Structure 1
Amino acid sequence: MTRTAAVNADTPDTTPAEVSLWQAFLFWLKLGFISFGGPAGQIAIMHQELVERRRWISERRFLHALNYCMVLPGPEAQQLATYIGWLMHRTRGGLIAGGLFVLPSLFILIGLSWVYIAFGEMPLVAGLFYGIKPAVTAIVVQAAHRIGARALKNKVLWAVAAAAFVAIFALDVPFPAIVAAAAAIGYVGGRMAPDRFRAGGGHGQGDKSFGRALIDDDTPAPAHALFSWNRLARGALIGGLLWLVPMGLLTAGYGWDHTLTQMGWFFTKAALLTFGGAYAVLPYVYQGAVGHYGWLTPTQMIDGLALGETTPGPLIMVVTFVGFVGGYVKAVFGADSLFLAGAVAATLVTWFTFLPSFILILMGGPFIETTHNDLKFTAPLTAITAAVVGVILNLALFFGYHVLWPQGFEGAFEWGSAVIALGAGLALFRFKANVIHVIATCALIGFVVKTLL
């Protein structure tokens, strides 16, 4: 056997024992409750547990799977868990891994959303959110900086980011149109000036070994991971039915214009636009949920992102909060069933948001080798990622405006929020503080400010 990665003298050379589906289930369940820190933190946890400690998959195979998930719309950490679960235990393994990555967060957010909407005016809750919202503004600015530092490697990509910012900030261009235009620029640019649209960074090939892995560098792909037209057609049919049946039932039972039906349709579109992570699609969610449908207010949208930052699971789980508040406020089941309305809407939104991720992983897995490092495939993504930087910057300005001038520019400037935001930014940029620690500290400060001052 040829191994390109260096192996230390004390590195174990024995292959770990086979992992049962029950053992995998217990790990994925644990991961669902400890997956804090956004995608970077979640991927780091999986790498530490699956590559370094348990040796279920090798460094190279892990990064190769991650590269594939990075080019798909949707939360890459959840997709990576789905992919590894599928590779180890077929479709049921992928469903367990991806599902348990989401379900704990779903139940937690339904509970927190109810507390927020029912008791949000209480001094304790109001004080905590007074400190959390400026922290979230600083976190979004950091996200724009982090993605920009990785993605904007030349003047062309800087121009794409600037154009995206102007389009959404000044011209109010819909987010899907920005994504489509960026993809077209990337496709053409990848042919005319390929060096300008090569992925600038990202995840390289593994150069470490932690010993023999259960799925090692030279482990052949299992039978279920080999491409088959029959398997592809069956996956497409089942995936299509899993979307079509609930959407058809909603349309038949409530009508196309009903709140629940429109939530299903809107968040299906949002799921297919989640390039660059949750921060990238949040402006689209805001445009629809706040501006078009009126499911929640701008302030509630910021509060929802704050809850998403403080719970385990993908950050895109903020859509669960949007669904709960929308179903609750619209009283879709009547004034006597507000909690049920919110819980059903939250569950429905989560289903339509994550269904495309499962379909893309379970159907697209066998194509990994053919798409990896193919410029025709990655150049549009490179341009989209550049546009995402401009979109996130607009999101940061949106949050900053509503946090610092909650009554509009004609109202008073919130000096307390400004100081908290500056402190959070200093902690994130200068001291590289943990996001959860920053949010917790700012929440405590906000409570003190609102209670004692």
Structure 2
Amino acid sequence: MNTPSNTAPASTNPPYTLWQLVLYFLRLGTFGFGGPVALVGYMHRDLVERHGWITEADYKEGLALAQLAPGPLAAQTAIYLGYVHYRTLGATLVGLAFVLPSFLMVVALGSAYSAFGGLQWMQAVFYGVGAAVIGIIAISAHKLTTKSVGKDKLLWAIYLTLLVVTVMTESEMAWLFVAAGVLGWFWRAPPKWLSKGSLNAVAAAQMPTASNLLAGLDLSLLSQIGLFFTKAGAFVFGSGLAIVPFLYGGVVTEHHWLNDKQFVDAVAVAMITPGPVVITVGFIGYLVAGLPGACVAALGTFLPCYLFTILPAPYFKKYGKLPGVVAFVNGITAAAVGAITGSVIVIAKRSLVDTPTVLLALGTILLLWRFKKLQEPVIVVGAAVIGLLLYPLLHH
């Protein structure tokens, strides 16, 4: 594979073996709590500062590409770091090592949930955890909004549009994300060919029709799961939580594979387990179609992010900072964050069913607001204990 010299290995003999790197990511995937931002922070601390395996420049390049391309931030950064010295084989093995532990955990939890979901103790656990998850997503949405949208008027317009559309339709609209990116690109860094004709505008106008046509196809359940999760995986920008509105729209509103309560429980499972938040797709897939469903959902979600990392990697340094590319990504990111914020409102309306759940969600928001370094799993465990205590009293 001919790659430009700017992505060539820093040295012919990297200071670590491929298996050392794979083992590191296997450990991180097994014990790495705290969400995508925390996970990429651990990678920097361990691989750049502590071991010196990856240079600061390579790490920054990987992080920038992960933010630029669709896909979960932590998983893509990991895949890129595997690519740095060991190319496609390194990227593939590191990606598998990072995702596999949490995938096995959510499949085990999916199996337990299917077997015991009707038992009172499990309903009690998720009664507390589900409410806390609303608070965790609300705080994440606030952080993403201040970081991604800032004071930019165009991005605020995109953000608010997607927020309102998500709340009103309660569904995922992939073409709106692309439209937001194109708007940002044409507004901030209009391409030279734009003035030469309007064929592209006609093509863009057909996008909603094409996506509706796909939705009308009659496919087997596993094919439907594969198609839906691949589409979702191709539009997750920045944070793993960006997949939540997509999943809600497809899994609950469109296909009716899960009900509201099961969906919130699925997001809760992603918060409980280490590794990437997006791994909730394995749990959802398991509830819909058992182990084959879990495998198809996970493969569909992670394959786009894998390809979006290894294919542009050789060219990223050359084109990643072009004004048009940056404007396109900023537009899509603002749309994604607007959809996340809208989905918080949609899910909260259905999930906060009584005073204790409302208080638990508000308590979570206050705790995370007040104690910035408080880890989400600590809150999840606390909420589970509260659920175990309160649920029998309220539902006896």
Give the TM-score normalised by the residue count of structure 2: 0.86
Unaligned regions of 5+ residues in structure 2, if any?
1-12, 191-216
Match of 1:62 in 2: 59
1:440 to 336, 361, 381: 381
Give, in whole Å, the separation in 1 of the partners of 2:37 and 2:134. 19
Distance 2:250 2:361 in 1: 27
Aligned length: 356
Q: Is the 8 A contact 2:23 2:97 kept in 1?
A: no
Q: Which residue of 2 aligns with 1:101?
A: 98
Task: Give, in angstroms, the shift of residue 297 of structure 1.
Answer: 1.0
Code of the aligned partner of 2:125: L
Q: What is the alpha-carbon distance in structure 1 between the residues aligned to residue 221 and residue 40 of structure 2?
A: 35
Distance 1:103 1:147 in 2: 27
2: distance between equivalents of 1:325 and 1:426? 32
> 1:264: how far off?
0.9
* Residues in 2 aligned to 1:110 and 1:17: alpha-carbon distance in whole angstroms: 36
Matching residue of 1:275: 237
Provide, for residues 158-216 of structure 1, a one-character-per-residue CA deviation record: whole Å limited to 9, x for no partner.
Answer: 12111111222225674213202211211111126xxxxxxxxxxxxxxxxxxxxxxxx
CA distance in structure 1 between the aligned counterparts of 2:277 and 2:184, rounded to whole angstroms: 27
The separation in 2 between residues aligned to 1:392 and 1:353, in whole angstroms, is 18
Aligned: 1:423 with 2:385: no
AA partner of residue 313 (structure 1): G
Write the letter of the residue equivalent to 2:380.
I
**Pairs within 5 Å for 1:284-303:** 284-303=246-265
The 2-side partners of 1:374 and 1:278 are apart by 25
**2:137 aligned partner:** 140
Query: SS at the partner of 1:307?
Result: helix
Mark the CA change 1:127 to 1:59 in structure 2 (over 3 Å): closer, same or farther: same
Pick the aligned partner of 2:163 from 153, 160, 165. 165
Shift of 1:356: 1.5
- Say which is worse superposed, 23-32 or 135-144, in terms of deviation: 23-32
Residues 78 and 314 of structure 1 are in contact (CA less than 8 Å); yes or no, is this contact kept in structure 2?
A: yes
Residues 278 and 316 in structure 1, CA contact (< 8 A), matched pair in contact too: yes
The aligned amino acid for 1:87 is: V
Q: Give the Cα–Cα distance (whole angstroms) in 2 for the partners of residues 38 and 95 of structure 1.
A: 22
Measure, in 1, the Cα distance between the counterparts of 2:168 and 2:22: 48
Asked whether the 8 Å contact 1:167–1:178 carries over to 2, the reply is no
Following TM superposition, the consecutive aligned residue runs of length 4 or more in structure 1 with deviations greater than 6 angstroms are none
**Which digits, 9 at most, give the CA deviation of each residue in 1:243-299, with x for residues without a partner?**
xxxxxxxxxxxx962100111111111111112323222212222111222211111
Contact 2:181–2:328 (8 Å) recurs in 1: yes
State the one-letter code of the partner of 2:38.
Answer: G
Superposition deviation, residue 104 in structure 1? 0.8
CA RMSD of the aligned region, Å?
2.0
Equivalent residue, structure 1, for 2:390: 449
Q: Which has the larger radius of gyration?
A: 1
Give the structure 2 partner of residue 395 of structure 1.
343
Retained in 1: the 8 A contact 2:170–2:253? no
TM-aligned CA deviation for residue 452 of structure 1:
4.9
- Residue 182 of structure 2 aligns with which residue? 184
* 2:319 pairs with 1:371: yes
SS of aligned partner of 2:87: helix
Are 2:70 and 1:73 aligned? yes
CA separation in 2, counterparts of 1:321 and 1:173? Answer: 20
Once the two structures are superposed, what CA deviation does each residue of 1:59-104 show, in whole Å capped at 9, x if it has no partner?
2321121101111111121111111112122222111111111111
Structure 2 CA distance for partners of 1:75 and 1:279, relative to 1, 3 Å: same
- Write out aligned runs for 1:207-222 (5 A): none
**Residue 224 (structure 1) aligns with:** none
Q: Tell me whether 1:383 sits opposite 2:316 in the alignment.
A: no
2:201 is aligned to none
Q: Whole-Å Cα distance in 1 between the matches of residues 56 and 308 of structure 2?
A: 23
1:263 aligned to which of 220, 225, 233: 225
Aligned residues of 1:324 and 1:343 also touching (Cα < 8 A)? yes
In structure 1, the residue matched to 2:30 is 33
- 8 Å CA contact 2:136, 2:376 repeated in 1: yes
Aligned to 1:10: none
In the aligned structure 2, how far is the partner of 1:24 from the partner of 1:132?
Answer: 34
The CA distance in 2 between the partners of 1:69 and 1:121, in whole Å, is: 40
SS of match in other structure, 2:71: coil
1:175–1:283 CA contact under 8 A, matched in 2: no
Matches of 1:355 and 1:28, distance apart in 2: 18
CA distance in 2 between counterparts of 1:350 and 1:173 reads 21
1:170 is paired with a residue of what secondary structure?
Answer: helix
Instruction: Determine the C-alpha separation between the residues in 2 that align with 1:446 and 1:182.
Output: 40
- Which digits, 9 at most, give the CA deviation of each residue in 1:374-432, with x for residues without a partner? 11101011111112222112111122111223xxxxxxxx0111111111111111222
What is the letter of the counterpart of residue 257 of structure 1?
L
Task: Give the corresponding residue for 2:127.
Answer: 130
The aligned residue for residue 4 of structure 2 is none
The alignment partner of 2:33 has SS state of: coil
CA–CA distance in 1 between the matches of 2:284 and 2:385? 25
CA distance in 2, matches of 1:173, 1:421: 23
Match of residue 222 from structure 1: none
